[in-house]
Chain A
């Protein structure tokens, strides 16, 4: 066998030498490359099927296919009666034959801010110029594996960087050279959110930074294309030359899929998106991208839940994913979202076939499955010569025993470029069935099961199992039987439903044996048994975690009767008062109100207030700091809002209705904010305020000068408070000049960072500045005044009390902690009386959290102001309601109970400042998002769903499926200084 292979290879080398190459090993021989495959069921494409047709191929291409095809002389005819031909599969997202570089260790090195590459873009992670072909090396072993799965073509690339460069379209033809099998050296432009491993350049450190960088690169490419650039930039040139290429973006999970699509849309580019397999979680949003997807089918294994103690640690959301992931392809298909399937992400490529069958079991139709493996990846690659068997297409096709998606089907051959690759020998006879075996007058029962070369038999005598070894090779059967100490060896072949041959006993005596066919197991019956029930798929909730909503909460007309109402309007308390909520707004406040059809809530003994607003939060986000530059005004938290964060629910359970998700404090000029209404269950866009006020985070002090980042971080400017001032003056000066040029009508290079800073100067965007000590607070006010604008808010502002008079004069608000201090040097003089002193000087004061735990009980933090500094209860309450609303420019919409304002209200069990009080209902825009009674139901539902899924996983384990160790989901909690 091996010999033949070598021989074959030798032939190949002469046959496949390029036609004009001289031959020195013999006379010139061209292989006959004209074949006709007859009598087969042919899938020309998923929708065009020919029963009993002929496929004619020549020189690696399809000549024709159809019912009656003219077969020219000199054609080798292969009769495929009863067999099926499919186009070979196409994998549009592969790293076949290309090894990704390893990241060099950053140990003992300081950060790097400049690019390694010269003559290219300023950022090393933008490498559209890279040709993966230069790193390509045909991997024969991997090719063999992929061929056995049915793939004929893969589009491979170098998976490295944010813009990764050109892909290579390769036919998986091991019998030739790259000169033939590389179908396209520049087959697509690949992108991702991950940095190149070839460079240690810091920027970007975050998802939002990567998004901003992509945007800036596209703008710069446009600027470059128009001939405005004074220098050469090989990266931008490459980018401009590839506009018509397939653009393939690796998202990797549904949130990143959406983020990628968002960036593409802004520049009129429709990416094909490589998904993560969790797209079903927000299928409508996925559909709205209008993108074609490439979907991995690397389903997670069931968790090993046999240890109840460990099983307790697995989140319901993870258990659900185990249950739901296999349905992802079918859900995509049902929603008419075009997608290709890929082997990408599979730890073992050979799991592909089983997982594909699982997808079908979970509802994916076979036609859609075939499309996802042929025509759709071909469309993605803009190549109509693969994934079909139309005339002129590559002769890449599969010969199977039947339906390719059926587990019982055998894949015999995978032809690529007209060359045969045998997967399972086609001439192997099916000898399965029950036989009566006779040897020397003794009779036994022989049962043969299995498929192809793997057919195996077992022997019984009556009920007794006989020790035996069965092999089936090259259509020869050999059996060794052992009875007591006696061995008998049989060998034979099948003829007319009968196995017969020679038997040799342990004395060397020969005799004849035969096995007469009795019956075949009823396949249909078997199928039914195996067909099983369709697996149960648990419902998706929004978000798809415990406490998510299965039904979208609806806006209601709500009448709260007889409550004590703290309006947050000038410290007003209204006793025994009714509040009517209609169309999402506060409709009426008064006594004895009534409204037809309103849901009436008895507020007797309870307090009604407006919802708490947290001016400084870092929940519900995937990233918090872009630390790669000292100014990152180009990034925005709106790009990375995470609507699936359980802390949103915990916040509403603490009476919080609105938050500002701020960028961290890694740099003097941070990123833009996302201001959210905590409408639990909405997607990211649904959480962000409509007509949202524009904010940006600035920061002062130890964090921006990297004081506590370790001894290596001493390179970035600024390292002192003195430098911080100069960063501001420099950037604002440049922004001012930029804005003047823009307004003058001259051509200008669009710069997102300077655009943002110009908005600040033009008073369209407001600063919330992380701040501690008085010197720098004073400094920033002076810088702002110099450029003619005001700082809107100092957040944290722990030494605000030392300059409260100056703050009042400047007109800046203070958003502070109630009692945090002593965690670093600059908070040594932080005092819990800070809020009271600033308040007494007329500064608008808010109490904020900067912490996922504290944010859910900001009412208690506000209560501390009564203790420290003797504030009135109403003044204290204002610091978490109307005051932060004012600071966020939301006070015309929310922050108090006033007719016409948004119905963002909380019903409390008692005085909201009391430690003994609980939030019972949290209503946002007239919709109840938290209800303490419903919460109890949710707890029960979580408990029962967990048991259900645990039972399902136990069954899976008992059936023998592989499992994985329990993993406890951990949510990264962000603070200002989280990297």
Chain B
């Protein structure tokens, strides 16, 4: 098999024909049975020596390999290996930019501050070389989110093996993203002010602007809409509850104000993104069924005095507070770093959360929060056969080594631009 691949690769090279993305796999025609692996179902449960079968893109059996049941199709012996549902990244901008420093490749942040009508999905580049590099690490799906402004736009959820954005879509326009005003602002050092963070004088003004905007939209939506207003139309879903409002906000004050203000405006389907200090307002969040999309574990403490490992423990703290948490990506080098999603979960596992709960962050919980848990997120009968086999614990760098991967039952390639270069230059030195 390996030889075939390399041979194929060499053919490609000779033809001088290097495609950016791996060719998407065709629809599943052949059934699979994965036998003997430790199956991590994504809902907290583990089945040792498991049997998982799938056909027509859907999981048809999840159980113990000791069960006397006919194996369907190709049997993959996965003894001593592990099976996981494909990982899901929330709040990602994959496919919206390719090379950070090259402006022409950036389609992340549109001009303007109130842009609910801006839709990420149409700019999603399935040919991105960054996206294909997710797959060897088990990250198969993401919420593609525009950035910037107060209302950044509308996100969609995709899977990573597709010819075009229509094929990629798992859920179109799943939610609208709002950046809550910052309750702190940085001192203008160029005017001689202390560069530290100070309470933002314009914080209330920012909130008022949001209120006025949404109230305007509500009035418009109740009216006859004789002349259409695109942004207001785009808010209909969050106002009637069919779409989620993802509020990017942190800090006790910010979260409290965001939740209370939005509820007052009639927006009830809320998700908090980032959510630093969410544990301090746990009651408010629980009462309103509001989940939190946590940041990556690999970040520095927020203040000088904070415990060095507070970022690592944050999932445990929120989980203990009874809040539903998922895991998102935003910040420096967020796109290329999304492949480290399992390791952020691993770090949360190490600092109190435990492995299966940490796994839930990037499987079942993210699926629930993004509203795709009817299709993906766990290894359960009837769900998409979006899953992979790893040689070992997929949350640990050393052992996250994928042998087989499937998206919707389609056996996908784990090759990438990077593995090609690896093989090409390894071969160079063998000669």
B residues within 8 A CB of A649? 308
Q: Which of A801, A863, A867, A967 contacts B425 (CB under 8 A)?
A: A801
| Interchain nearest-CB distance for A854 vs B (Å) | 7
Query: Which one of B187, B195, B198, B251 has the highest number of Cβ atoms from chain A below 10 Å of its Cβ?
Result: B198
| Bound Cα distance from A179 to B108, whole angstroms | 67
The interface-forming segment of B286-294, B321-329, B373-381, B390-398 is B390-398
Pairs A–B under 8 Å by Cβ, sample size 22 = A313-B303, A545-B304, A546-B305, A822-B98, A822-B335, A823-B333, A833-B426, A836-B422, A853-B299, A860-B343, A866-B397, A867-B399, A867-B400, A915-B397, A916-B349, A935-B307, A939-B307, A965-B198, A967-B197, A968-B197, A969-B303, A971-B304
Contact B304 A829 (CB under 8 A): no
| Bound Cα distance from A647 to B304, whole angstroms | 9
A residues within 8 A CB of B253? 309
B residues within 8 A CB of A831? 418, 421-422
- In the complex formed, the residue of B with least CB distance to A802 is B425
Q: Is A852 an interface residue (CB 8 A)?
A: yes
Q: Is A837 an interface residue (CB 8 A)?
A: yes
B residues within 8 A CB of A821? 336, 418
A residues within 8 A CB of B197? 313, 967-968, 970
Contact A823 B336 (CB under 8 A): yes
Q: Is B100 an interface residue (CB 8 A)?
A: yes
Q: Is A828 an interface residue (CB 8 A)?
A: yes
| Interchain nearest-CB distance for B335 vs A (Å) | 7
| Bound Cα distance from A867 to B133, whole angstroms | 14
| Interchain nearest-CB distance for B90 vs A (Å) | 20
User: Which residues in window 330-379 of B have CB below 8 A to A?
Assistant: 333, 335-336, 339-340, 343, 346-347, 349-350
Q: Is A646 an interface residue (CB 8 A)?
A: yes
A residues within 8 A CB of B16? none
A residues within 8 A CB of B299? 853
| Interchain nearest-CB distance for A23 vs B (Å) | 49
A residues within 8 A CB of B163? none
Contacts known (A316-B304, A860-B343, A946-B305); A967 close to B421, Cβ less than 8 A? no
Q: Which of B199, B305, B349, B399 contacts A315 (CB under 8 A)?
A: B305
Contacts known (A863-B398, A916-B396); A869 close to B303, Cβ less than 8 A? no
B residues within 8 A CB of A310? 199
Q: Is A623 an interface residue (CB 8 A)?
A: no
Contact A916 B298 (CB under 8 A): no
Query: Which one of A836, A916, A965 has the highest number of Cβ atoms from chain B below 10 Å of its Cβ?
Result: A916
| Bound Cα distance from A866 to B343, whole angstroms | 14
Query: Which one of B197, B251, B397, B400 has the highest number of Cβ atoms from chain A below 10 Å of its Cβ?
Result: B397
A/B pair count, beta carbons within 8 Å: 154
Q: Is A841 an interface residue (CB 8 A)?
A: yes
Encoded as 1 (CB less than 8 Å from any B CB) or 0, chain A from 309 to 320 comes to 110010111000
| Bound Cα distance from A831 to B251, whole angstroms | 37
State how many residues of chain A have any CB contact under 8 Å with chain B.
68
Contact B300 A916 (CB under 8 A): no
| Bound Cα distance from A916 to B335, whole angstroms | 25
| Interchain nearest-CB distance for A359 vs B (Å) | 23
| Bound Cα distance from A544 to B196, whole angstroms | 18
Contact A915 B395 (CB under 8 A): yes
B residues within 8 A CB of A968? 184, 196-198, 303
Q: Is B102 an interface residue (CB 8 A)?
A: yes
Contact A820 B102 (CB under 8 A): no
B residues within 8 A CB of A918? 309, 350
Contact B397 A317 (CB under 8 A): no
Q: Is B194 an interface residue (CB 8 A)?
A: yes
Contact A837 B429 (CB under 8 A): yes
| Bound Cα distance from A358 to B352, whole angstroms | 49
User: Which residues in window 181-234 of B have CB below 8 A to A?
Assistant: 184, 186-187, 194-199
Contact A702 B304 (CB under 8 A): no
| Bound Cα distance from A653 to B308, whole angstroms | 8
| Interchain nearest-CB distance for B390 vs A (Å) | 10
Contacts known (A310-B199, A313-B197); A916 close to B346, Cβ less than 8 A? yes
A residues within 8 A CB of B347? 860, 915
Q: Which of B101, B196, B309 contacts A653 (CB under 8 A)?
A: B309
State how many residues of chain B have any CB contact under 8 Å with chain A.
53
Contact A828 B395 (CB under 8 A): no
Q: Is A71 an interface residue (CB 8 A)?
A: no
- In the complex formed, the residue of A with least CB distance to B344 is A915
Contacts known (A853-B298, A942-B305, A967-B187); A917 close to B397, Cβ less than 8 A? no
User: Which residues in window 773-806 of A have CB below 8 A to B?
Assistant: 801-802, 804-805
| Interchain nearest-CB distance for B97 vs A (Å) | 9
- In the complex formed, the residue of A with least CB distance to B418 is A831
Q: Is A418 an interface residue (CB 8 A)?
A: no
Q: Is A864 an interface residue (CB 8 A)?
A: yes
B residues within 8 A CB of A653? 308-309
A residues within 8 A CB of B307? 935, 939
Q: Which of B98, B304, B401 contacts A867 (CB under 8 A)?
A: B401
- In the complex formed, the residue of A with least CB distance to B305 is A546
| Interchain nearest-CB distance for A807 vs B (Å) | 12
Q: Which of B130, B199, B343, B395 contacts A965 (CB under 8 A)?
A: B199
| Bound Cα distance from A217 to B163, whole angstroms | 64
Q: Could you list 10 further interchain pairs (A-B, Cβ under 8 angstroms) beyond the known A313-B303, A316-B305, A967-B197?
A: A702-B101, A802-B425, A822-B333, A824-B100, A836-B422, A853-B300, A913-B397, A917-B350, A939-B307, A965-B199
| Interchain nearest-CB distance for A487 vs B (Å) | 47
Encoded as 1 (CB less than 8 Å from any B CB) or 0, chain A from 636 to 651 comes to 0000000000110110
List the interface of chain B (C-beta within 8 A of A): 98-102, 129-130, 184, 186-187, 194-199, 251-253, 298-301, 303-305, 307-309, 333, 335-336, 339-340, 343, 346-347, 349-350, 395-401, 418-419, 421-422, 425-426, 429
User: Which residues in window 738-787 of A have CB below 8 A to B?
Assistant: none
- In the complex formed, the residue of B with least CB distance to A834 is B422
Contact B194 A967 (CB under 8 A): yes
Query: Which one of A547, A646, A942 has the highest number of Cβ atoms from chain B below 10 Å of its Cβ?
Result: A646
| Interchain nearest-CB distance for B98 vs A (Å) | 7
- In the complex formed, the residue of B with least CB distance to A646 is B304
A residues within 8 A CB of B309? 653, 918
Q: Is A966 an interface residue (CB 8 A)?
A: yes
Question: What 10 pairs across the A-B complex have the smallest Cβ distances?
Answer: A824-B101, A968-B197, A833-B422, A967-B196, A863-B397, A915-B346, A546-B305, A831-B418, A866-B398, A916-B350
Query: Which one of A647, A707, A823, A840 has the highest number of Cβ atoms from chain B below 10 Å of its Cβ?
Result: A823
Q: Which of A702, A819, A935 contacts B340 (CB under 8 A)?
A: A819
| Bound Cα distance from A805 to B102, whole angstroms | 31
Q: Which of B304, B398, B426 contacts A873 (CB under 8 A)?
A: B398
- In the complex formed, the residue of B with least CB distance to A644 is B304
Contact A820 B336 (CB under 8 A): yes
Contact B398 A970 (CB under 8 A): no
- In the complex formed, the residue of A with least CB distance to B253 is A309
Contacts known (A646-B304, A824-B100); A914 close to B396, Cβ less than 8 A? yes
Q: Is A857 an interface residue (CB 8 A)?
A: yes
Q: Which of B99, B198, B199, B300 contacts A852 (CB under 8 A)?
A: B300
Contact B194 A864 (CB under 8 A): no
Contact B298 A857 (CB under 8 A): yes
Contact B300 A825 (CB under 8 A): no
| Interchain nearest-CB distance for A842 vs B (Å) | 10
Contact A317 B298 (CB under 8 A): no
A residues within 8 A CB of B199? 310, 965-966
| Bound Cα distance from A825 to B102, whole angstroms | 7
B residues within 8 A CB of A966? 198-199
| Interchain nearest-CB distance for A565 vs B (Å) | 19
Q: Is A306 an interface residue (CB 8 A)?
A: no
B residues within 8 A CB of A452? none
| Bound Cα distance from A317 to B303, whole angstroms | 11
Q: Is A512 an interface residue (CB 8 A)?
A: no
B residues within 8 A CB of A511? none
Encoded as 1 (CB less than 8 Å from any B CB) or 0, chain A from 419 to 445 comes to 000000000000000000000000000
| Interchain nearest-CB distance for B136 vs A (Å) | 9
| Interchain nearest-CB distance for A965 vs B (Å) | 6
